[in-house]
Amino acid sequence: QVQLVESGGGLVQPGGSLRLSCAASGFTFSIFVMSWFRQVPGKERELVAYITSIGGTTNYADSVKGRFTISRDNAKNTAYLQMDSLKPEDTAVYYCNAQRRDVRGMKIEYWGQGTQVTVSS
């Protein structure tokens, strides 16, 4: 059974930090690209950051560049999102995503249930 379980969300003051974790099971974690998305009510889900399976190449949305860091531990089947210098506009539900293409080019994709991050004083 495939599972992606996020944790680490919560309420934090502006300027604070949080570390999100995404624990994966039921699939070969190391060969999947891992991403974090976020969504606020009434808006589309947006990509925050991703990290490739091999080599660990990372990419970030402009809005979080320099403040957020994505990483992964393939031995622990876990992806992380370190969020520093948080702003109220970072408030959203954060989702973990795993995806890859199979040999036919078809996308295989899994989502977590989401974790709420609220940045407020």
The pair of structure tokens assigned to 113 is 């249930």
Residue 105: what pLDDT? 93
Give the integer Cα–Cα distance in Å for 26 and 4.
9
Residue 56: what pLDDT? 81
N-to-C CA span, the chain: 40
Q: Which residues contact 97 (CB under 8 A, 6 or more apart)?
A: 4, 34, 35, 36, 37, 109, 110, 111, 112
pLDDT tens digits for range 44-91: 999 999 999 977 899 999 999 999 999 999 999 999 999 999 999 999
pLDDT surpasses 80 at 40? yes
Residue 10: what pLDDT? 97
Alpha-carbon dihedral 37, 3, 100, 97, rounded to 10 degrees: 0
Give the integer Cα–Cα distance in Å for 83 and 19.
6
Cβ pair 20, 9 in contact under 8 A? yes
Average pLDDT, the chain: 96
